[in-house]
A and B are shown apart, each in its own frame.
Chain A
Amino acid sequence: MNQAVAVEPELVAVPPANSPLLEIRDLRIEFGGQNESLVAVSRLSFDVAAGESYGLVGESGCGKSTTAMAIMGHLGSNGAVAHGSIRFQGRELVGASTKVLRSIRGRGIAMVYQDPMSALNPVKTIGAQLAEVPLLHLGVSRDEAYDMAAAMLKDVRLPDPGEMLKRYPHQLSGGQQQRVVIAMALLGRPSLLLLDEPTTGLDVTVEAAVIDLIAELRRRYATSLLFISHNLGLIAECCDRVGIMYSGELVEEAAPEALFRRPRHPYTQGLIDCIPDIGAGKHARMLAAIPGHIPLPSERPQGCVFAPRCAGFKAGACDQPGLPLESTDEAGHLVRCVRWKEVVRTQTRVPPEPHGDAAPASAIELAEVSKVYRVRHRKLLKANEGVSFDAGKAEIVALVGESGCGKSTLARIVTGLDRASSGEVRLAEQNIAQLSAHERPRSLLQSIQMIFQNPESTLNPSHSAAFSIRRSLKNFGICKGRTAINQRMRELLEMVRLSPALADRKPEQLSGGQKQRIAIARAFAANPSLIIADEPVSALDVSVQAAVVTLLLDIQRKRHTTMLFISHDLALVRHVADKIVVMYLGKVMEKGTVDEIFGGVTHPYTEALLSAVRSIDPDKRPRQRIRLEGEMPSPIEVPRGCRFASRCPRKVGPICDREPPPVRRLSETHEIHCHIEAEALGSRALVLLDAGSSAA
């Protein structure tokens, strides 16, 4: 195999019109030292034309971020391009000298990163970091550079650019920081913008605004985009073409609509089926999961990488090495599957068991729960104020909101990790709001358990994976004696579909999905009547999310456990919940059944959340994007009136700022806290979702 030759290519001022801006051919990237060599990307070829937006989608381990780093020539000391070529504007980047790379970085190709807070230098001002780009590449004076920076800040819609230049990154919110990163990337007037998960970690409404901004700027500056993400819906809406990567290879490439309507590769089909559908609840459709797991680089089979998990696997055809990317019947639609013509898409839309309609008895009630912290300078931080809702037995109530809305604080209060400042949490006639965990009797602790958000920190790295399950069983007296405990622990692991052999492994040897399953087993080990799931799947891959959510719902249904499900993902919530509570800045904005919330008559904030959803299905996309201006106010200085007033697109008038909104009861279960009259809320045309799909 020929290595890329390191030559200085001639400078090509303007590439011929037909040649693509970025050409990647047969790229192979390897990591590792003398002993073990890990193939991160085995074979990758695609083009990005001038002015086009190309999306690269895949789950963890597929190599998409590694590809981005290879393009920038920044693979680290133990990574290298083993084979293949990357041509940018006709110049070969593989093996290019540092001088060439430096001339391209920031000027020809610029990058936008995933976590903007850490991508910015905390001790340098925004202005200094921005001005570095034109000073480096455009040969301007220092004053000119700062002027350009200020102008760009205006373009990215940041207020008061002059002031902003003097600020430091930690003084900005996440969304503002990302805008700065985008500004920094565009200041070099690059031809190609590389975006590596630019909105992961941002709130939904902030994400929507940033994506809109990128689209607008792209048009204005005529920049091509290479958009890397795990979020298929986001890519589908933003990109002209989409490439699906799986375990180091490109398995399918097409325009977004074609990809959704006629996915050819079984992996793409499985991925699409994994994504919760904002138009359908859990009683209409079950989330499909792709059996098996993403293979480690050392486990990759010969031939089709997806074969171990593919229902359409055929020996002799699918295990031949070197399967090519073929054209399908559509123009521009490529797939790497020998059997794409024959594979029939298994429709996994199996409706689960029907649910009972009887209103269940109340399992837990929250009444006017507030949590106030005292901070420096005698100020008060209001994390929660006057939160009230209830959950019936075996019901799933979703708490929805963005960061800072107080849902996690609420979870801590219910479980006892924190005490409420005021209000009541009634469980079986007892008010537990003021009882912290170590004050609660064993039986109470047993009845409320929690599944946490981050699989990396949910298990103690110094103990075996099942250690906490065993402790739980022991502490709550569910089993006595080693054999009984181990037996029960094995049963629990089987319940979450894990092999009992994993019990004694260390957490670092388990994948994120496996760890989260153990967390689920641990929570259910105590036989609780109430489980709080705090973003239980947001840190997992899409396909793993589907599997874990399905599992969770399954167990919850069988055991009739009440669940408080905290999430920011509305599509997931639609799929999971029976009732929804929408929170903003510590207060409840709206609550109702899932049908009511998605039914079209909602609080303006809920409308904004719904309009921010990105769906891969072109039919399910909101017809109108509601853009929220401004920033969420600080919880230390909460507005006197409606908390949402400062950003509300449907603000009635000064009354919204002055007085807290009244409660509009639209039905026995549906409440909206808004100054807009109930009729006016409903009379607004259904701009959000397609009328046909909103009905369950």
Chain B
Amino acid sequence: MARYLIGRLGLMLLTMACASFLVFAVCEFTPGSVARKSLGPFATQQQVQLLMEKLKANDPLMVRYGRWLGVLLGLIPDPLQDPGTGLNFTDWRGKQYFGNFGYSTLNKLPVNDIIWERLGNTALLGGIAFLLIIPFSILFGVLSGLKEGGGLDRSLSVICITFTSIPEFASGVFLVTLFVILWPLLPGTSPLNTDAGWSLPSQLVLPVAVLVVYDFGYVARMIRVSMIGVMEKPYIRTALLKGMSTRQVVLGHALRNAMIAPFTVLLLQINFLISGVVVTELVFAYPGFGRLILEASLFGDVATIEAATLITVAIAVTTQFIGDLGYVLLDPRVRIS
């Protein structure tokens, strides 16, 4: 068991390393952008050259990657924070520590100052959405899967398919038109401060609604398929012919089997809710993780992109792992082989 866990941990680190290297390669294809970005567009070419030399920005890709990795692991101090560069980049945590993601050239702050707060905001948004998606999708999925092709199935399925066809920006626009412009019940933006007079919870309603609307339909469809598969199985017939009522059969026999496969799907939604919500955050001006990635990508802020990548991949691998673990726990056929 311990061996298995260590194996998975190793796999996770390997995945993170590969992913971070790939992203580094894509972003750092043209060296020197860091220097240019740090100094801003008004610096002269000479200043940029000087900084590039200081940062050793012309070294080969692998070396630069190694250096970034070294900074991250706390093995070497961040060259950008060296007072010799004249940039005045300071980090109150020090120049060299484990988990040093470096300096954000976009925000002119250490990455660690920004990224965790943004992550927290998105986690709040995603968390509430997740808590709503679970019951809705299970309800819709189980009810429609009970009797395939039945009236309930048809109507619920139509709702689910329609909702999965509405991208976030579309539903954002619809909902804002409805609840901000036509009936001004809710705020049109959610900057997470009370400057405009809207309470924090009210700022969360629309973004959460957009996420839930888009995502629950997909999960519900997965649960539906699983449920239909289970209801066709012979052991359901056995239970019915033992004299159990449909309700008893569904709750006592079908549900557990039907949820095994969708469990992983449900968990994977966490990935989407953390990193894929950039559109929603953009529509509502929400200070979240997704927007951070977008802004960093557009600007070319390597340090932030890398940090975000690592966190995203770590979350993804962790959810995959929990999913596999869940499989083992839920399905005795896997547990006891």
Contacts and interface: CB of A to CB of B under 8 A. Distances in A.
Interface stretch (B219-227, B236-244, B269-277): B236-244
B333 A72 contact: no
Given A122-B257, A123-B331, A124-B253, A137 B243 contact: yes
Interface residues of B, number: 22
Interface string B233-262: 111011111111100000011001100100
Contacts of B283: none
Contacts of B331: 122-123
Contacts of B238: 111, 113, 119-121, 181, 184
B2 to A, nearest CB: 16
Contact of B332 (A74, A170, A181): A170
B333 A136 contact: no
A118 interface: yes
Most chain A CB within a 10 A radius of its CB, from B240, B330, B336 = B240
Contacts of A115: 234
A241 interface: no
Given A113-B234, A171-B336, A121 B257 contact: yes
A74 B234 contact: no
A374 B68 CA distance: 44
A105 B242 contact: yes
A102 interface: yes
A132 B242 contact: yes
B333 A168 contact: yes
A75 to B, nearest CB: 12
A105 B241 contact: yes
Contacts of B233: 118
Most chain A CB within a 10 A radius of its CB, from B235, B253, B257, B330 = B235
Interface in A115-150: 115, 118-124, 132-133, 136-137
Nearest to A101: B243
Contacts of B244: 102, 132, 136
A65 to B, nearest CB: 12
Contacts of A119: 234-235, 237-238
Given A118-B234, A120-B235, A103 B243 contact: yes
Contacts of A132: 239, 242, 244, 252
Most chain B CB within a 10 A radius of its CB, from A72, A121, A137 = A121
B146 to A, nearest CB: 12
Contacts of A124: 253, 256
A72 B241 contact: yes
A74 B241 contact: yes
A123 B242 contact: no
A102 B243 contact: yes
A90 interface: no
Contact of A184 (B237, B242, B245, B333): B242
Contacts of A170: 332-333, 336
Interface string B59-73: 000000000000000
A670 interface: no
A30 to B, nearest CB: 20
Contacts of B245: 98, 102
B260 to A, nearest CB: 8
Contact of B240 (A105, A110, A137): A105
A28 interface: no
Contacts of A188: 242-243
A264 interface: no
A132 B249 CA distance: 11
B126 to A, nearest CB: 30
B262 to A, nearest CB: 14
Contacts of B333: 122-123, 168, 170
Contacts of A171: 336
Interface string B309-337: 00000000000000000000011110010
Interface string B283-305: 00000000000000000000000
Given A123-B330, A124-B253, A111 B241 contact: yes
A107 interface: yes
Given A105-B243, A106-B242, A136-B243, 9 more contacts: A107-B243, A110-B242, A118-B235, A119-B237, A132-B244, A136-B244, A137-B243, A170-B336, A188-B243
10 contacts: A74-B240, A111-B238, A119-B237, A120-B235, A122-B333, A123-B331, A124-B253, A132-B242, A168-B332, A168-B336
Q: When A and B form their complex, which 3 residue pairs have the shortest distance between CB atoms, in order from nearest?
A: A106-B243, A105-B243, A106-B242
